Amino acid sequence: MDLLPTVTATIDRYDLLPADANVLVAVSGGADSLTLLDVLRRLAPERGWHLRVATFDHAWRADSADDAAWVTAYALALDLECHAARASEPAADEAGARDQRRAFLDFTADALRPDTRIALGHSADDRVETLLLNLLRGCGLTGLSAMPPRAGRIVRPLIECRRQDIRAYAAERGLPVREDPSNLDARFERNRLRLEVLPRLEALRPGALAALARTALVCHEEHEALDRYAALLLDRLLVTPSPRSLIDDLDVLVMEVGEWLEMPPAERHLVLRALLARWRGHLADVDFQAIATLDHLCAFRHDAGGLRLPKSFGEAVASRWGDRLIFGAVPIYSTWGPRAVNFDGPTELPEVGLKLLVGDAARGCALQARLRPEPDMVLRPRRPGDTIRIDGRGRRKVSDLLLEYGLPAVIRQRVPLMVWDDKVVWVPGGPAAGEFVDEHGLRVGIAARSPLGT
């Protein structure tokens, strides 16, 4: 069984590995990864690829370190550089182990060269297993197009090869395959699916696994087309945060959702997946319930401090205010203030990632005002009941002004108020209080101290 024609066709069809590519090959010692390494070594001289090996010990077994040591020795015997690491503590489940391994591979690839491709030994059978697992937890076309041949820097040259053919190739080539006993451990969901469910499906309908693999391939190709369409929809809805919103320096995305329910549900789900993909770079572990949660927030106003999303979204917060949704990493601001204003230079507010500038230094600030300075002015966060009197508008609640200025609840505590004698003198985003307005007075402005308030 020579897999070279199939693998070569897959690599060329999906542009997995360009000429002279730097390739980090993930090797565990099993048949799939050893076959992957062997095939790429045979093709490398003609393609000019620069191969390196990476192996990760999940520390799930007492003797797992032996496998990593064996892979390292095997790679060195082939005159290949090998990078190895061990988990500081075993992951609680398969998803956690995958995250640990992916973090190690990404770190290693970045240390080599940013354009390094990471080659994984996933087969057509792995793709079918993932498709069924995604289907069982609830998914759309994204989940059905499981394990694409290429996802960013991740490439899967064996993705159109059956596991039985890979094992036949390994045997014919005399590859020293090491069997991992954890692959037979019924505690793992994927193993139960592989050992119990898939054989029954194949017995029920011969050729079922091949048909499911074709289904994943077709879904992947259709999904790519829908991804392009979803990106266009998302670009039409995304807005650039206004400089007056105090969110320019935060790692967030802002989207118009005023007419959200006028979109068909399928389009809404496509947009949300595109939003998450742009935010996270991938959609791993994002299930239908997570999308439904975000869809509900887009459809119905929710402004009670924002919504902390399920872990599948990563560390993100979403908040609906007005006709916009803010989505992303918003720092949790600690209690701070009052802070005395320094009229001779900047007043740093590290707790909220901002600073007050005065005089000429404030000219470039989007949030600025001119006012009459008074000794003992301070900066502090908003308190319940705070009001400010603005010429021509009377006395207004500070909370109402912050809503008017377009600030979602999750970051209103970030806004520093200038206060004198317990009177609010200035709310950044608007003019100074009437009795402190002075067209020739001191210019003050608020600027970001650093990204993400750190």
List C-alpha distances in Å: 149 to 49, 224, 442.
18, 12, 61
Q: How far is it, in rounded angstroms, from Cα 413 to Cα 381?
A: 6
**Could you tell me if 302 and 447 lie in one domain?**
no
Predicted local distance difference test score (pLDDT) of residue 453: 37
Q: What is the DSSP letter of 433?
A: P
How would you classify the pairing of strands 423-426 and 417-420?
antiparallel
List C-alpha distances in Å: 330 to 246, 250, 313.
12, 7, 13
**Could you tell me if 188 and 253 lie in one domain?**
no
List C-alpha distances in Å: 93 to 28, 63, 98, 99.
18, 19, 9, 10
Q: In 90-207, where does DSSP find H-type helix? A: 94-112, 124-137, 141-144, 163-172, 189-192, 198-204
Q: Which among 281, 302, 329 is the end of a domain?
A: 329
**Could you tell me if 256 and 390 lie in one domain?**
no
Tokens of 71: 């892979």
Contact between residue 383 and residue 338 where contact means Cβ atoms under 8 Å apart = no
pTM: 0.62
- Single-letter amino acid code for the residue at 71: V
**Could you tell me if 316 and 345 lie in one domain?**
no
The CATH number assigned to the domain holding 273 equals 3.30.465.60
**Could you tell me if 41 and 113 lie in one domain?**
yes
**Could you tell me if 350 and 317 lie in one domain?**
no
Where would I find the beta strands (DSSP E) of 20-153? 22-26, 50-57, 82-86, 117-119, 150-151
Cis before 176? omega within 30: no
**Could you tell me if 93 and 179 lie in one domain?**
yes
**Could you tell me if 190 and 276 lie in one domain?**
no
In a domain, residue 296? The reply is yes
For the chain, 454 residues long, give each residue's pLDDT as a single digit of tens.
789 999 999 999 999 999 999 999 999 999 999 999 999 999 999 999 999 999 999 887 777 788 899 999 999 999 999 999 988 888 777 777 888 999 999 999 999 998 999 999 999 999 999 999 888 877 777 778 888 899 889 999 999 999 999 999 999 999 999 887 667 677 778 888 888 889 999 999 999 988 998 898 888 888 889 989 999 999 999 988 766 677 777 888 889 999 999 999 999 999 998 998 888 776 666 777 778 888 988 988 655 455 666 665 667 788 877 788 888 887 777 788 899 999 999 999 998 889 999 999 998 888 899 999 999 999 999 999 999 999 888 899 998 888 787 777 778 888 999 999 999 999 998 899 999 998 889 999 998 865 433 3
The CATH number assigned to the domain holding 192 equals 3.40.50.620
**Could you tell me if 153 and 191 lie in one domain?**
yes
Structural domain harbouring 103: 4-223
In a domain, residue 167? The reply is yes
**Could you tell me if 312 and 251 lie in one domain?**
yes
**Could you tell me if 350 and 263 lie in one domain?**
no
Predicted local distance difference test score (pLDDT) of residue 243: 61
How many residues are given for the chain? 454
Q: Which among 223, 254, 287 is the end of a domain?
A: 223
Domain count of the fold of the chain: 3
